[in-house]
Structure 1
Amino acid sequence: MNEKLIVASCLSHALDGALHEERILALLEQPKHAIHGDLAFPCFELAKTLRKSPAGIASELANTLQHKLVSHVEAVGPYVNFFLHRHIVSNTVLTHILDERNRYGNLAIGDGQHVPIDLSSPNIAKPFSMGHLRSTVIGNAIANIMAKCDYKPIKINYIGDWGTQFGKLIVAYKKWGSPEQIKQTPIKELLKLYVHFHKEAEKYPALEDEGRAWFKKLEDGNEEAHHLWGWFRSESLIEFNKIYDLLGISFDSTNGEAFYNDKMDEIVTLLEEAHLLIEDNGAQVVMLEEPLPPCLIKKSDGATLYATRDIAAALYRKRTYNFAQAIYVVGGEQRLHFQQLFAVLQKLGFDWAKNMIHVPFGMILKDGKKMSTRKGKVVLLEEVLTEAIHMATQNITEKNPALTKKEVVARQVGVGAVIFHDLKNDRMNNIEFSLEDMLKFEGETGPYVQYSYARACSILRKASHTPGQATIQLEDDLSWTIVKLLHHFPTIIQQAHDKLEPSIIAKYVVDLSQAFNTYYGNVHIMIEDEQLQSRLVLVEAVAIVLKEGLRLLGIAAPEEM
């Protein structure tokens, strides 16, 4: 049921073609205050065509419009306000949700087409910091949204396991490293070495040359370099997987940068055959149209670069998945890189490059500044998650000490708090890191939404409510607010898909939770009367949509808290 389409059709018929139905649909508004109805149509645009005042047009339309879905129509100044039949709409919406359950909101957009999504992508031999959280949880939520819209997302963790930094790390290990200490605490020791290298390089710039030389050895297959690199990589993946297990996130591919080492020669050949490679100060570049600078493909020493590798990765993914779209969830500071990447692919004649999308996001700042692994200024994600779970455990112990599966719920709530704190923000906004704000369990937070879901489940348990259908007899303002929000869920999914913006869903589940808790605080839901089953159906529908909204964000929905 789309009441906007119905009202637009009625208006189009009444206006006898004076305004196209699509334009009427675009002009229809949802009034800010319920006293002004459920939909409003402004008549300003008709004044010139009909040569009447907007208020006069509104008055005439209000007297002629009628539909079984509309209880009454009012003219207020230049607006025509529509009031819907609440019991008809409520019955239709809630029955549909109970029929569809977790399928409610599914959209047939993607036709099962593949969409590889590049997300997370931490660098090996470095700790998983808060700086990596955004790509991980935004990318995972986008994958869930794409699946909801009938695409087949392919989550790719494009591990940063290649590059000059590994040459630097090898130098640092050979000069200052201890095998025993690295075996005990691998990531912490490797981070210390990495930070120490850059401190020393500020005093002795020649160290940078040594780092580049060792990376060249690694590219050339030097046995010692390759052995150390493999060791650093395996230790890192063990640490990363602990984080992913906590977050509840898995991947379809973990092919990192090194996977494309044997696939870059083809790219250089393709660029040469297309006469796109130009020598510039000994390096090989592709010239691009202004305002883009040239794209560097090979350095003067012959070493390949990120762009070369990403071109190879794009071609591999197209051949492997034949994707409809390819999405890169990578920070906004890499915008230029992706503009160059897509431009080079198009110069090579790959039309599918037009369907590649960079999804940027803002940074997590500490004291207003970007976190830097190089300078050792990082906040470790594992420590934040551990602290969040600890605080959730304390909260549960205090408020519900008899709760079964306390450890499981504490993990769901603590991790959910961290994920939701990120996703409730527009992805382009920078976020100031604050453990205190992140771990609040009241207000617009993940635990608040989870608790709202658990409250709905508790009501249904106490009522011994059996899922099913009932004739809905709800017409009060508080239930109507909830019904309208529930009816809006598929539109929310559409908007989140169109903008690749998980925060739209996060804000929606907060709004739905607030409306439900207001209802709970003002209505005696469990009272035995003729509307009991209607109220329980409303609660059940809220539970269904909250759980699905949380799932799309990558957050668990505990039934008890």
Structure 2
Amino acid sequence: SEVGRGKVVCLDFSSCNIAKRFHVGHIGSTTIGNALRNIYAFCGYKCVAINHLGDWGTNFGKMIAAYKLYSRKEKVDERGINELVDIYVRFNDEEKKNNALSDMARNAFTKLENGDEEYLEIWQYFKDISIKEYNKTYELLGISFDSYNGEAFFSDKIPGVIEELRQKNLLEKDNGAFIVRLEDYNLTNTVVLKSDGSSLYVARDIAAAIWRKKEYDFDKCIYVTSAGQSLHFAQCFKIVELMGYEWSKNLVHVPYGTMSINGEKLASRTGNVIHLDDLLAESISKCEKIIEEKNAELKDKKSVARAVGVGAIIFNALANSRIKDTNFVWEEALSFEGNTGPYVQYTYARSSSVLRKAGMDSVDDVKTAYPDLSSEEITLVKKLSEFPAAVNRALEENEPSVIARYTLALCSDFNQFYHNCPILRSEGAARAFRLKLTKCVRKVLGVSLDLLGMKRTEEI
């Protein structure tokens, strides 16, 4: 598609907090953002994938203080993020009983803000360790980023934003804090600067938007975050508009619902957290067992199990409208029948198998006269013709589930055709047409899997 030729889209997604492990709550932003990046790129856009890291704030004062008190480099090198999480939790627990620790944390963050060389080095070390571990998960998911500029990168740009808001008479003092009044726009008034002089997230997001426009000259900037942040982004975008930036209309929030596992909502406060890498590992392990039972002779079983196990989680996150809450149930998500990722990948493998047996190179693109079509063939041809419209709708609505639902429908129609219309056992024009139809299905399914961020599986 050429709809995006010459246009730039920035996509801000995943955006994890360093020194913390990925949990399954990150699946939504990560998979939806990556699928949108794939869809926009397929439609001709130049895409800039941004991981806006949570890598700044007073919590890093606590982290550095905890590191100095309870840990050392060798332990972090050995245990990675797990060590950072453990010492942070320990510090928080002991801080409740010892006020001196609060002072220590504040002093540590002040040193960090003032550019203390030792403290900046420790902070950078935490960041490097975190990104290294995150990249293992991203690699498994097949995701990469063009920028990791996060909170820290924009911290020194906030004073300029505050000054600009002042000059444009948008700041108003309220109980010691500075707010932007938005009640005339059906939004709550927004604090951008607290009474102690510290800025809030809205100021950082405004700074980031202005910088990204200058750096990338985007035609659209998409933020993929939970629906719980809808008000925040509405306020942020309105303030950018009030600052006189006409391009504010090109800032788009793409919200998504919550995720639960086996009906249980996940909450860090109650300790009900499942880490994403654990979920992926378990999914791959379960797929290995299923494949061992169903097709023990399969070549490269581990690679296939990895593709199907990861694909099952991605597809589960993308199958329904993104704003709906998602429930992950193992038995459903890993089934090779029904509305699942394994079903789609199995159907792709089935189409590949048919073409291999026929000698794929012999399935040429010469037009074949075959007017006597069955109802299954007519249905399948019609479904194939709907693919461009599905892509356009997914693009316009920022809705990857459109591709997921189309893919399920195509799989269903192909499997009906496969069972009711002999392909390899037919002859002459019928055989040639059915092989070409299978080749078209395989091509469209392959592209659909690519768009969703899933691996193609030639055999299962």
Question: 1: CA distance between counterparts of 2:116 and 2:188?
Answer: 34
- 1:267 counterpart residue number: 161
Q: Does 1:288 align with 2:202?
A: no
Q: Structure 1 unaligned segments of length 5 or more: list them.
A: 1-105
Q: Does 1:134 align with 2:28?
A: yes
Which residue, out of 123, 126, 133, partners 2:17?
123
Which residue, out of 16, 21, 41, partners 1:147?
41
Question: 2: CA distance between counterparts of 1:306 and 1:376?
Answer: 25
Report how many aligned residue pairs link the two structures. 455
Does 467-476 or 136-145 show the bigger shift? 467-476
| SS of match in other structure, 2:199 | coil
- 1:545 counterpart residue number: 444
Provide the TM-score with structure 1 as the length reference: 0.76
Q: Structure 2 unaligned segments of length 5 or more: list them.
A: none
Cα distance per residue 1:213-265 (max 9 Å; x no partner): 54344222234432332221111111000001100111111112211122222
Larger radius of gyration: 1
- 1:507 counterpart residue number: 405
Question: 1: CA distance between counterparts of 2:324 and 2:106?
Answer: 35
- 2:420 counterpart residue number: 522
- 2:338 counterpart residue number: 443
- 1:337 counterpart residue number: 232
| SS of match in other structure, 1:249 | coil
* One-letter amino acid of the counterpart of residue 497, structure 1: L
Which residue, out of 377, 383, 397, partners 1:479?
377
Indicate the structure whose relative CO is greater, using CA pairs within 8 Å and at least 6 residues apart: 2
Q: How does 1:153-232 map to 2 (within 5 A)?
A: 153-177=47-71, 179-200=73-94, 211-212=105-106, 214-232=108-126
Cα distance per residue 1:532-560 (max 9 Å; x no partner): 10111111111111111111001111212
Q: Does 1:469 align with 2:366?
A: yes
Question: 1: CA distance between counterparts of 2:96 and 2:395?
Answer: 46
* One-letter amino acid of the counterpart of residue 328, structure 1: Y
Give yes or no for contact 1:195–1:375 (8 Å, CA) kept in 2: no
* One-letter amino acid of the counterpart of residue 552, structure 1: L
Q: CA deviation at 1:418?
A: 1.1
Question: 2: CA distance between counterparts of 1:302 and 1:367?
Answer: 44
Provide the TM-score with structure 2 as the length reference: 0.92
Q: CA deviation at 1:335?
A: 0.8
Which residue, out of 307, 311, 321, partners 1:416?
311
Question: 1: CA distance between counterparts of 2:204 and 2:449?
Answer: 36
Q: CA deviation at 1:175?
A: 4.5
Question: 2: CA distance between counterparts of 1:467 and 1:257?
Answer: 54
Give yes or no for contact 1:550–1:556 (8 Å, CA) kept in 2: yes
From the superposition, tell whether residues 472 and 398 of structure 1 become closer, same or farther in structure 2 (CA, over 3 Å).
farther
| SS of match in other structure, 1:530 | helix
Compute the RMSD of aligned alpha carbons: 2.2
From the superposition, tell whether residues 289 and 507 of structure 1 become closer, same or farther in structure 2 (CA, over 3 Å).
same
- 1:309 counterpart residue number: 204
Cα distance per residue 1:260-297 (max 9 Å; x no partner): 12222221221121122222233222222343222222
Fraction of identical pairs, as percent: 45
Question: 2: CA distance between counterparts of 1:165 and 1:472?
Answer: 70
From the superposition, tell whether residues 433 and 535 of structure 1 become closer, same or farther in structure 2 (CA, over 3 Å).
closer
From the superposition, tell whether residues 425 and 214 of structure 1 become closer, same or farther in structure 2 (CA, over 3 Å).
farther
Cα distance per residue 1:186-205 (max 9 Å; x no partner): 21122223334444566678
- 1:380 counterpart residue number: 275
- 2:322 counterpart residue number: 427
Question: 2: CA distance between counterparts of 1:195 and 1:368?
Answer: 28
Give yes or no for contact 1:409–1:558 (8 Å, CA) kept in 2: yes
Cα distance per residue 1:20-68 (max 9 Å; x no partner): xxxxxxxxxxxxxxxxxxxxxxxxxxxxxxxxxxxxxxxxxxxxxxxxx
